[in-house]
Structure 1
Amino acid sequence: MTRVIDETRVRPSLPQPLRSDASGSRRVTPGSGKMAPRKNASEDMEKLRRAIEFLTEEVSSVKTQQKGIFSLVEEIKALRIQNAEKDKKIERLQSRVAELEQHARLNEDFGMEGYEFVHLNRNNKTGGGVGFFVKNELNAKIVDKMTVCVDDLLECVTIEIGLEKMKNAVISCVYRAPGGNVELFTEWFGHFFNKTQMLLFICGDFNINLMNTGHRKTEQFINTVYSMGLYPTITRPTRLTCHSAKLIDNIFTNYMENSIESGILITDISDHLPIFTLFNCNYRRKKLAINGFRYKRIKTEGAMMALKQDLLHQNWELVYIEENVNAAYEKFMDMFNMAYNKHCPVKKFKESIKQINSPWVTEGLRRACMKKNSLYRHFLKKRTVEAEVKYKWYKNKLTNILRSCKREYYNKLLEGNKNNIKGIWTILNSIVRKESKGIKLPEYFTEKDKIIKDMTDVANGFNRFFVNVGPELASKISETNTSVCEDMGERNPYTMFLGSRTPPPFPVPSPTPGSRTPPPFPVPSPTLGIRN
């Protein structure tokens, strides 16, 4: 009985023959029967063959889809590269626009009437930079070859001023970063200014203490300066604290005459004391105010026409009959100056000194400001901790009071105009938008090595660039005859692949919600394909 059970477990599908024993009962004799032939073997083979053919078509379809996807990925990569190039161009344009806006803001915030602000900004950082206030009547221009900015080392802007009876003056404003390499800066300084044969003034914050003569790098810088024929005009400390006194701001020049006057100003506008140099140069001078008055020659169009008519009808016989050339010239100048002073006289005008007074600053606050300056001078003289603490406490207290008075002043103005929208906007514009005077924008723009000076053409150029960014990108995308989405076909819910062009060649039961129906045939794991 035990043997029959074991054989049944091993070979359940084989039919067992029935035999009768002596008692007439039927029993099973193991191992004595033959397996009956299966009738469905050919049908199973046919189904398996058709399933393999179906899988072959699916794999081929997936390969085609993958080729299309790879092609699409390459196109996307090319498009990203083009977009990156366009982004770089747009970034450069935005950087240029930001520079123009900053230039306009600098002229608006730091502009002075009658002066042009020439400056150089930092490359990769906000704030900082070097600059000049150049009088409009000076014949000045920027020297591009001597204007440079090196990150974390130095910033330098240079201008050249044309003089009448002397060599042109070259003036440079230099700032050395405190953490920059001193030896590299010294090498740059000697190479940059060594070939200049004109009158030279180099001013700025060098962050090299010239009073520390025992320092090797400082001595090397001083020796380089003297070897170039330059000498410092400032010899006293420009940055004072309770514990140190450093000479790090200076003006170097190669002009050895005694007509230069230099000095240090006592003011707390910065932690560095301002320095100055006065140089008597022969540029076109303007009539200076004397005792509150100034003199100006009146030259109108009518006056000049009258002068011409007077000179045409003038009797020059006295000049012609004179045999001595010098005497004839003196007579001519006397007659000419007489007519010139007659029609274009010099008149006296009262010089009006413009003072910018803040309306919220009272007389008591002005006296407090004077006391603050007095405390600062006392601190510079004594250089004690007590003097510094007293000065800083008074300065901070005064700053808070000034801000509070300014806030209260504008609050009262806004409260008084709360029913007047125009008045409110006038007040806000006076606070936010100061009137810019003398803003000098670039005179030309460059487009593909072409200089454009007409501002209408400049505006049209900007419009063309921004309008054509999208169409230019679209034109560089290669066109394909077939779409990748079309090759993918419809989604087949009964396979792990994306889709198939033909339905399966056998009936597939519909899956019920919430159940996981196994596939009707063994599906091998494909090496190429996208899983659902």
Structure 2
Amino acid sequence: MAVQVNNDMQQSRLNLLQNSPFRTEDVLSLSVANDFVGHPFKPLRSSKYIRLSDIEIPGQSESLTVAQWNCHLNSNHHEVTRLLDLYKNKVEVLGICESFVTQDTFLSSQFFPGYKLVSKSRSSMRGGGLTFLLANSLDYVIRDDLTLWNERKLETLSIEIELEKNRKFIISLVYRPPSANPDEFFGEFDGFLQRMSSTKLQCIFLGDFNFDLLNLEGVNLDFFNLILSHNLYPAVSIPTRITDHSATLIDNIFLSSDAIVECCADVVLHPGSDHLPVFCTIKRFGCKHKTTTKLQFRMMKAENLRKFKDKISTVSWQEVMAEKEDPLTAFDKFMNILSPIYDQCCPLKTATKKKNQPRKPWITEEILEMMKKRDQLFSDYLNCDSWEEYRKARNRVNSARRAAMREYFGEKLKSQKGDIRGTWLTIKSVLGNGKDSASTEQLAIGERTVSGRQEVSEEFCKFFTKIGSQINQEAKDQSGQLDTEQFDDNRGLHHSFYFTECTIDDITQAVKSIKSNAAGVDGLNIKAFKAVAAYLLPVILYLVNLSVQKGVS
């Protein structure tokens, strides 16, 4: 329990922290790393002690700093203010257990610049009470429906905060009186945790639980097992209450392991109370909801294509055709003219891909009802061990689903008799497409590395278009003439092939034969390309023939 202190008592506590047999250097040996061998206790990160002069200011980027302290807020408000000042008011949530704040207490937000007070006090007993100090910048809602108040067993105060859009948390401040019956507390607290879990929001619990997690025996172990059963893990791993004869870990912050990816918890060596304040900075958060996929697409409306066509019709390609030696340089000039017009007329937009999963066509209403019954029996099994009934329902659902799937595809294949394409599409939908989405992002060429889809593509083009000229060079004798003796009758020149210059008709037919609308590495959509193809044919013909002449593609 917290005790009211004066200056002399604060100094004696400071001396105790510095000179007791449980001073900082020795108390580290009581941490989880050494004393919890054989126990399942694995905090999210090993804690450390921080002196007031060594306090580190929490970072700004996507972090949340919460703290808990058991102290009398009415008489120690100046110490709390000093502590928050040392953290430069970067602490968003500070929970005070046994705050002794009552309706008659003259204490308001003016004592804590930058913070608002949310308190709940006892009505029939002295002492106790819970108080939140919340940063003014924090959006919060008091969750009375998640506040459990039994002054002899368990006191809780819950708030819901929103850090950013669709990023909500519930933070609960908890105090268990040391005289509370452990079994009665376990029953109340277990029900409370189930209610919190039903909100589907990520939860953080902080408070004074009066169970020593450095002594995992008896009721302490029962409490720890209860916490673990709700997928909660402690952030603090070192003693938070140090006296001249004991060092116990009874103040803690519990976090959901699947919600919190990275955090660090520090215990501040402060003489203001017989409990030490605990600070936890949650640096990164996991994500329970499904991530959305961003898609980029071009605006290909008739109006956009018309503007694109009008602008391309006025473009002069003389600069491109003036390049007589290097096809790649000519192509770069071509794209430098075309791309800005394309981006202006058909701008790139970003949209969120919806992940709506339609019901499989063979899942009937009858099967859906069977699934609901199966799910209900599974819930009953978790509560009263009715495994056999659940197993039978599960097997019935699986059998019905497989039979319905066979019947559906059987009828579909019958209806597609004589339709080879439709039959193979149906078979493919059953077997899956088997495609591997992996792509070559890097290419090692000698001692250098090429990265990027377009750069890798260009390197492949260079290799395959130059390999012919390299073989031709190797086939020449020293006089520069082709050594025809290396070709025998079976591998003569009649097996060779030659490129001839293309014509406008060749390019026109090639454009018409394109079936896909997918864009290439240059980002040019085929639909947009076909809309302006008539104006691009001369310059494309020039680029193709120059590439053939120079052996570059």
Which TM-score band (shorter chain)? 0.3 to 0.5
- The structure with more radius of gyration: 1
Taking structure 2 as the reference length, what is the TM-score of the superposition? 0.32
TM-score, structure 1 as length reference = 0.34
